[in-house]
């Protein structure tokens, strides 16, 4: 077994139906999985759609989906998918793999608005490699000048830790993997992300549903 099904789940209630589950040490043999993913996944540069144009992401990624005919990147991810689907009563079409290579890679505060429906979501994030800040802030703090850009929680997942954002967490909250800068000595981090959105409520109105994330080869 690759995941610890008995690991304690700590639920962080964010209010108004938003929550995050935190499971420390969910994958006990995290170092072995990390090294395999770091070295064997075909990492690609990617672009995000911002308003009316694409911008290069400060990280590299990959995608595994059902029916693609490609082998799983690691057997641990097959078990992780099964356990998550059973625990949260959802079905995932696949998962994204994201590689933060150094402190100059990161992601600013955002919501996963490309999911279209944001009022009842399940987004699981499994971390391998270096421990880095992983911050949450309410949308009401979006334009704040406070230190930390209004972050109220820093969950700092270590290798093998699982975070699951649920309920209205995408409607009312934003999350970030902050840029640490070229002077940072932090090591590489790989994260796996599964996403599910229940089609309830009013859909998010923004750029094209299919536009926000675009992977391309090379680079």
Domains of the chain: 10-202 (2.60.120.590)
What pTM does this model have?
0.90
Q: How far is the CA of 24 from the CAs of 15, 126, 162, 186, 195, in angstroms?
A: 22, 10, 6, 20, 20
Mean pLDDT of 2-24: 98
Mean pLDDT of 168-183: 97
Phi, psi (deg, nearest 5) at residue 207: -70, 175
**pLDDT confidence bin for 67, thresholds 50/70/90:** confident
Q: Could you report the per-residue pLDDT of 137-153, keeping only the tens digit for each?
A: 999 888 877 778 899 99
Q: Could you report the per-residue pLDDT of 160-174, keeping only the tens digit for each?
A: 999 999 999 999 999
Summarize the chain as % helix, strand, coil (round to 5). 20, 35, 45
Across the chain, the runs of DSSP E, i.e. the strands, are 10-15, 18-23, 44-50, 53-65, 94-100, 107-110, 121-129, 135-138, 153-154, 162-167, 173-177, 189-197, 213-215
Q: Residue 72 in contact with residue 65, Cβ under 8 Å?
A: no
The per-residue pLDDT of the chain, averaged, comes to 91
Give ∠ CA 167-170-175 in degrees, rounded to 5: 120
Q: Which of 27-41, 133-147, 189-203 has the lowest mean pLDDT?
A: 133-147
Nearest Cα residue to 130 out of 61, 58, 56, 35: 35
pLDDT for 55: 76
Phi, psi (deg, nearest 5) at residue 190: -115, 135
**pLDDT confidence bin for 51, thresholds 50/70/90:** low
Phi, psi (deg, nearest 5) at residue 35: -65, -40
Q: Report the 10 Å Cβ neighbour count for 26.
A: 25
């Amino acid at each position: 077994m690759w995941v610890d099904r008995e690991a304690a789940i700590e639920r962080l209630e964010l209010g108004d139906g938003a929550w995050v589950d935190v499971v420390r040490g969910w994958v006990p043999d995290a170092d072995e999985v990390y090294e395999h993913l770091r070295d064997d996944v075909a990492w690609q540069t990617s672009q995000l759609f911002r308003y009316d144009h694409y911008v290069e992401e400060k990280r590299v990624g990959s995608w595994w989906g059902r029916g693609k005919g490609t082998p799983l990147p690691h057997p641990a991810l097959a078990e992780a998918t099964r356990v998550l689907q059973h625990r949260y009563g959802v079905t995932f079409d696949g998962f994204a793999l994201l590689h933060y290579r150094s402190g100059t890679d990161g992601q600013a505060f955002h919501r996963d608005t490309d999911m279209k429906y944001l009022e009842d979501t399940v987004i699981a994030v499994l971390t391998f490699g270096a421990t880095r800040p992983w911050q949450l802030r309410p949308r009401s703090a979006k334009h704040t000048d406070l230190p930390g850009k209004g972050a109220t929680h820093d969950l700092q997942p270590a290798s093998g830790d699982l975070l699951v954002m649920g309920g209205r967490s995408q409607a009312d909250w934003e999350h970030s993997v902050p840029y640490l800068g070229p002077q940072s000595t932090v090591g590489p981090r790989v994260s796996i992300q599964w996403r599910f959105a229940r089609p309830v409520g009013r859909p998010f109105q923004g750029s094209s549903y299919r536009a926000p994330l675009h992977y391309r080869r090379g680079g």
